[in-house]
Structure 1
Amino acid sequence: MKKIGFIPLRQNSKGILGKNKRKMVGRPLFTWVLGEAIHSSLDVVYVYTDDDTIIDFIEKEYHYTNKIKVLKRSGASATDTASTERAMIEFAEKLSYNFDVFCLLQATSPFTKAIDIDNCLSKIADGKDSALTVVNTHRFVWNEDGTAVNYNPKERPRRQDFKGLLIENGAVYVCTKDVLLNQKNRLGNTIGIVKMPEESLHEVDTEQDWIVVENLLIERQKRAKRSEKITHLVLDVDGVFTNGTIAYTKDGEHTKNFDMRDGMGLEILRQFGVEVMVMTSEQSQLVAKRMEKLKIPQVYLAVKDKYTLLQTLAASQNFSLNNVAYLGDDVNDMANICSVGWSLAPNNAMPEIKQLADVVLSKSSGAGAIREACKFIINYNKRF
């Protein structure tokens, strides 16, 4: 049974300019659901967009997986008045309905996890023809005529005794091919219900939504952290190995300055069995050469979605994010800073990173921060 994911993205957004590409906790908004789709049981995930910059981003970024594909969306299906169903049907026709199960994923619902997707897919396996995600809210609902919808105001129930209401959160919708082909709709006749946490009721449509959702995401990531033995140290480069400055000539990048003492610290750390990885958003041959000199084999260049890559490496190499210490300095490190077992920041990191990091080092980047981090890890691991 072929199960495909579908993430529709429009280039223009009236509520929030460039919403889908704007960084939410340091990553483009749409990558929150895309990353989870990669780790779900979907066979392939399509991003359907009229935005050429997103197409270019996806083609370059997710080269390490064959699960992600991108298709150009027509302008007619990306207008303010076009329905999501129109985009779904247009896309399905391009694929000649070559799938068995269709999963609509909304980028404006970044709380979606792989388990939510899989739970919806399991409803189809159990015989339903469609499924959707909901939130069980305990709010009291009223009609405009002053009558209560879901409770008796004369006998106000306690929260723990109140069943509440199930409300669509707009995150995940799954249906069979027959439903989409014959009913032209995301939902059929026998619908399975999958509950998600109450925080997922928030969607990103306004600037106020953005602030609320970003802070809730940060707290969710931090709540999931556990302090376990550190087996992996993951390092950013610019602003961690270096002081964040680059010398250029007319021919391009010329020099970066590295602290030799940091290199010795990493050599000592590896003697204690800690794996070292490097993950940078820059495509730099100078970095590649330096890491080759330091004998660090796992070097990942030109990575924009560091969180999804780290999740993928953890799954493929059988370690937990709780076993990771991450050293970063800027907003593109933020999701990892919020998610790993131990997060560290150089003393001269950006204020928003220092605020979220577990440890703010006394040393600055390019001036002993890595060496100090190595010492912290060695001393911390002695407890295990």
Structure 2
Amino acid sequence: MKKIGLIPLRKNSKGIPGKNKKKMLGRPLFSWILTEAAFSNLDEVIVFTDDLEIISYVEKEYFWNHKIKAIIRNEENATDTASTESVLLEFAAQVNNDFDVLCLLQATSPMTTSKDINAVLSKIEKEAFDSALTVVKTHRFTWNADGTPQNYDVFNRPRRQDFEGLLVENGAVYATSKVAFLNSKNRVSGSIGLIEMEEASYTEIDSTTDWEIVEQLLANRLQKNKTHQRIDYLVLDVDGVFTNGGVYYGPEGEMMKYFDMRDGMGLEIIRQQQVEVIIMTSENSELVGQRMKKLQIQNCFLGVKDKYAFLTQFLKDKKANLGQVAYVGDDVNDLANICSVGWSFCPANGTDIVKRSADYVLTNASAEGAIREVCEVIMKYNKRYS
């Protein structure tokens, strides 16, 4: 059964300009659902957009996952008046209906997990529903415009614990069989299964206030799900961690970066303690490559913009998990990993937002012994697992 996930994205957004590309915890909004879809039971995940910048980003950043593709959608069908169903029909025609299950995934629902996606798919695959969608339970009392209550008796107001509540669409995940979709031309039809998601997933991102709420909810969930194990992997950003964040430029481009020799010795010692060192930076710097080669660090990944997705894939290949990772970062593009790994560190001169989210704010600044300090903390911590 071929299961395709579709993430429709528009270039323009009226409520929050450039919403799909705006950084949430340091990652483009759409990348949250894209990464979860990539690690779900979907066979293909298609980003369907009229934004060439997004297509370029997807092709460059997710080359490591064969499931993920980006396809141009019709500009006339990417307006704020176009219906989602018309987008689904356009996509289905483009691929000649080559799917058994079509799964609609909304980028504005970053709280969606691969578990939620799999549960929706299972309703069709294993329980023989024609379609399925995600909902949340609300215990709110609802009213009609004429002043009459919809779901309770005003003279017999139930206690919250005695009130079953209502199931409300959260707009996160929809899936339909091909037969049902071609017959109804609608995202859900026939026998419809429901998957309940956490109540936090109900907040819609239509304003900057919504954005701030959802971003905090997402950070809280990542931090709540942290696990602590022996540290087997130390992942390091470069600029602002290895270096002081400065760079010297000449007529031909980048000339020099400043590194602290004590950091190199710390990394040599920690590798002797069976901790694997990984370099992950968004910059594609030849100088960094040369320095890591001298330090004999084999896992040096340059030009990585989506560090969270890349780290997730790296750990999957290693059959490891985030609880085995220590991460050192200093700026917003490190936030998702800072909130997720077993232990996270920020140099003394890191940005305030990272300091607030890190487990450990170092006493030393970057390029002034910060990495050496991290190595010593990890070695002391790992003794409990000896």
Instruction: Spell out the pairing of 1:103-122 with structure 2 (5 A cutoff).
Output: 103-122=103-122
Cα shift at 1:229: 1.5
Equivalent residues, number = 384
Give, as a single letter, the amino acid of the residue that structure 1 aligns with 2:11. Q
For residues 117-196 of structure 1, the aligned pairs below 5 Å read 117-125=117-125, 126-196=127-197
Shift of 1:360: 0.4
Shift of 1:290: 1.2
Per the alignment, residue 28 of structure 1 pairs with 28
Following TM superposition, by how much is the alpha carbon of 1:227 offset from its aligned partner in structure 2, in angstroms?
2.1
Residue 5 (structure 1) aligns with: 5
Quick check: 174-183 or 212-221, which moved more? 174-183
Q: CA deviation at 1:223?
A: 0.7
The residue identity in structure 2 corresponding to 1:48 is F
Q: Which residue of structure 1 lines up, in the alignment, with residue 366 of structure 2?
A: 365
- Aligned AA for 2:320? F
Residue type of the partner of 1:212?
Answer: I
Give per-residue Cα distances to partners, 1:66-117, cap 9 Å, x unaligned.
Answer: 1100001111110110011111111110000111100000000000000000
Name the structure 2 match of 1:209: 210
Once the two structures are TM-superposed, the CA of residue 179 in structure 1 deviates from its matched residue by 2.0
Whichever residue aligns with residue 73 of structure 1, its letter is R
RMSD: 0.9
Deviation at 1:180, TM superposition (A): 2.0
Unaligned runs of 5+ in 2: none
TM-score w.r.t. length of structure 2:
0.98
Summarize the alignment of residues 1-384 of structure 1 with structure 2, pairs less than 5 Å apart: 1-125=1-125, 126-384=127-385
User: Which sections of structure 1, spanning at least 5 residues, go unmatched?
Assistant: none
Question: Aligned-pair distance for 1:7?
Answer: 0.2
Amino acid across the alignment from 1:64 = W
- After TM superposition, the structure 1 stretch with the greater mean CA deviation from structure 2, 147-156 or 160-169, is 147-156
Cα distance in structure 2, aligned partners of 1:141 and 1:191? 24
Q: What is the percent sequence identity of the aligned residues?
A: 58
Runs of 4 or more, structure 1, over 4 Å off, are none
Matched residue SS, 2:147: coil
Task: Kindly provide the CA deviation profile for residues 95-153 of structure 1, in whole angstroms up to 9, marking residues without a partner as x.
Answer: 00111100000000000000000000000011001000000111111112222211222
The CA distance in 2 between the partners of 1:285 and 1:62, in whole Å, is: 22
Provide the rounded CA distance (Å) in 2 between the counterparts of 1:247 and 1:210. Answer: 37
CA distance in structure 1 between the partners assigned to 2:300 and 2:201 by the alignment: 35
**Structure 1 counterpart of 2:262, one-letter code:** R
Which stretch shows the higher mean deviation, 96-105 or 144-153?
Answer: 144-153
Aligned partners of 2:29, 2:167: CA distance in 1, in Å?
A: 26
Residues of 2 paired with 1:153 and 1:382: CA distance? 62
Q: CA deviation at 1:367?
A: 1.1
Q: Distance in 2 between matches of 1:299 and 1:156?
A: 62
Cα displacement string for residues 269-306 of structure 1 (whole angstroms, at most 9, x for unaligned residues): 01111111111001111111111111111111111111
How far apart, in 1, do the equivalents of 2:90 and 2:182 lie?
Answer: 11
* Inter-partner Cα distance in structure 1 for 2:62 and 2:231: 27
SS in 2 for 1:153: coil
Amino acid at match of 1:66: H
Give the alignment's TM-score, normalised by structure 1: 0.99
Deviation at 1:22, TM superposition (A): 0.5
